[in-house]
Amino acid sequence: MTLIRWMSRWPLWLLHALGALAGWLAFAFSGAYRRRLWAHAGAAGASWAQRCGAVAGAGRMLFEIPWLWLRPPGLGDWVRWEGAELLPALLQERRGLLLMTPHLGCFEVVAQAYAERFGAQAPMTALYRPARKPWLRELVAASRDRPGLQAAPANLSGVRQMLRALKKGECVGLLPDQVPPEGQGAWAPFFGRPAYTMTLATRLIQQTGAPVVLLWGERLPWGRGYIVHVRPFAPLPPDCSPEQACEHINRHMEALILEAPQQYLWGYNRYKGPRAQEQAS
């Protein structure tokens, strides 16, 4: 805890520099991680330079977390927006809004930036997996619950919390390229390979009628901050099956990832089988 608080006061450029080094050390010393990252990125068509960028980017993602979690309120000039004009009209409809982003760039900053700019109009509820360590669980909860932003645990109670938020006209944030528990997903292609894909996004859309927008947070070089990119989402085909809906969502995730393959978390085991379901609290 003391180390994390100390690191949160370091400049972002230093955290990113040390993170890049840590990313290469993990790549060098873990054969399984190295083979997975290189194979997944290569299968998606990432160049050699983009794969190398992803190695460093994974470390930067880890080392920027203390700064993001424990920084003073207000992102200010650290974040710029591109395409934000899509959001106000959708929020004014009060039908709820589902924001989806893959494990691309800095997805932590996306939720914080949304909360600071739009949270007073429509607060965001974001799904997360509670940490196993009690001391870290408290830190994560405190850092992710901010004005305009609430965290929902990745279980049945969290799903109910998200449904209530959408029905109140609020916003919900999801990372749909995360492998869900058994029984909560369907197998669908992801960069040419079957991947167990969450059906939660589909259920939220179908049960609430909420519109969908895609976001991702580009990490700028030399610790200069971030750009939040906003992209439209084509509606789900009518009467589509869970498998068809998951394939539709995966295609949108692929398009986002191909905007910056060097910032995707290719080392994540996207093609693993689902884990057993967790009990709702």
The confidence score (pLDDT) of residue 138 equals 66
SS (HEC) of 250-276: HHHHHHHHCCCHHHECCCCCCCCCCCC
The confidence score (pLDDT) of residue 206 equals 92
The confidence score (pLDDT) of residue 130 equals 66
Give the predicted TM-score (pTM) of the model: 0.92
Q: Give dist(CA 205, CA 181) in Å, integer.
A: 19
- For residue 195, list its beta bridge partners: 188
Summarize pLDDT for 256-280 with one digit per residue, the tens.
999 999 999 999 999 999 977 654 4
Q: What is the DSSP string of 151-192?
A: EEESSHHHHHHHHHHHHTT-EEEE-TTSPPPTTSEEEEEETT
Domain boundaries, the chain: 1-263
More confident residue, 158 or 105: 105
Average pLDDT, the chain: 92
Q: List the alpha helices (DSSP H) in 87-238.
A: 87-92, 107-118, 134-144, 156-167, 200-208
CATH architecture designation of domain 1-263: 3-Layer(aba) Sandwich (3.40)
The confidence score (pLDDT) of residue 219 equals 98
Q: Could you tell me if 212 and 205 are in contact, meaning their C-beta atoms sit under 8 angstroms apart?
A: yes
The confidence score (pLDDT) of residue 279 equals 47
